[in-house]
Structure 1
Amino acid sequence: MNTVQQSPTQTKPTVDVSMVVANFNNGRYLDEFFRSILCSTVLPREIIFVDDGSTDDSLVIAQRAAEDVKCMKIIALPKNVGFANALNAGVANSVASYVMRMDPDDILLPTRIERQYDYITRHGLDVVGGNALIFHSSTGASIGSTNFPSDHSDIEKTIVKGENGVLHATVMGRTAFFRSEPYKQENVPAEDYDIFARFLKRGASFGNFTEPLIRYRIHDTSASARLRYSTILRTYQLRDSIFGGHTPRWKVRTYYWFIKCYRNYLDSRSVVSKYVWAGLSALCYPQKLVRKIARHVAYRPGR
């Protein structure tokens, strides 16, 4: 590891990672986001902050944060070009061996960079993701956690059947893959499934941390809060195109309603409504619901 000047009074080690952040009008979350980076046990070689034509105070906040986050490069796009295109701009300007994804409305956990970099280099993997603690933006209350498979064979099975095998906002992967298989704007908001399915098709090896790496924010404008049937449909269409086969519409609808019911289960404040939504979710995908609830209980605050 090298060292980078973080502030006039403090230095931290760095690792060979380019953190790529695409931002559009997330100004209200950026101070907390940048504080989480400063609390990290190690820093990336560089942070590439791509502002995708924001109309709020995002650029002002990022420029102010850059006084403390010395490794940050700011790319200010003159107009909004879209999430995938903004990420590609960040990757194109990266210089490290690995690209690390992070969304500016989430919070980095202190050991994420250090542990993930050690894991991906020690095991010789191409892509490593992890889990996330999910919380409500308005209340700060924890509402659950993700439960992604940990080893390559299970991740492969998950992706091939049309589901996300890694959580996009937690991924660290070889820069060479991100350059050879860039994001496709036309596939947003299913761009995450698309790019990692193409990585897999090209022979990438995957892994996931069992432990959470970020705090994942749910708010009114987040992609998670605005899930549409068209997104699930597009995901399965990509699956069929990349891996072959045909996914029947009933399966698409079933998986869509499983996710909708499960998110209502997480959002519910009363025990009765939780049981109702859990029951409806179980009707759609019983095995997956059991795994998700078990994960939720395992990471419940106070345990």
Structure 2
Amino acid sequence: MTRPIILDLTADAQGMVALLVALQVPDHVRPVLVLFSGRATQVDVAMAHARDLLRACGLGDVPVRAGCPGALVQTDGVAHDLPPGNDGLGAAHLVQAIRACPQHGATVCCSGPLTTLALALVQAPDVGAHLHGVIFSGGAFHTRGNATTVAERNVAADPEAAATVLAAGVPVTIVPLGCTDRLKADAVWMEQIAPMGANPATLAARVHAELAAARNGGARGGGVDISLAAVAPLLALLGPGIFQGHLAHVDVECMGTHTRGMTVVAHGAGQPNALVLESLSVEAARGILRDLLLLAAK
């Protein structure tokens, strides 16, 4: 059965990799909406590229939208601009896409902050019944955070949004930092997917070039391994057998000067509200990504 999925992606090379991979398995998943979050200029470029990819795969009817431009609770007092030509109604588009799917049919794979999904669940609580599940990359449980010492970047960007999603009563799978810390695009893996760039005129080559540029931009052209955590939610849907995890009740710290954005397994606090993925077979994950990306290059 082909499952409808909604991709809520970061507007970077890794987000494009996730989209390209999703388009290679039409017998398993079919995108019904693609959202991008991040800086307005980056989102604008990412949306244009995503539309090209979708059209090339015969999915030009799939809407591509900008997600919410800021957190649910604004603390900086700074207005957030939107990409030109976008209405900023990412949550409304998300609600519409979920309602159009069969009951318990749609899965949301989120590689960035959960703001758009949280706002959709607040605005239209009934859409939770239409969701098969939510899989998101975020949180830090047994490792140092990458936003603060205790908080992971996606959750720290909008702790209230993460807390809202976890409290919504929908099936949630969390792919935290400790699970994906070794899932990276290193020199060996980049050499394996080098055939993607053989024909510069193809969209696969364009994705390859963006990924290579992202690696090379970090060390004056020398190449720095970059995280592929953005693809992990999709991998957890396509290949759950390569992951190991446990059910837990997860809380998000929304207060505190030093702990805001911290994700905590609250033992004895209530019924489990999430499947927390603790580990994955990195080589299996890299192999799946490699094979699907090379398939896109054919």
Give the TM-score taking structure 2 as reference length.
0.36
**Bigger radius of gyration:** 1
Give the TM-score taking structure 1 as reference length.
0.36
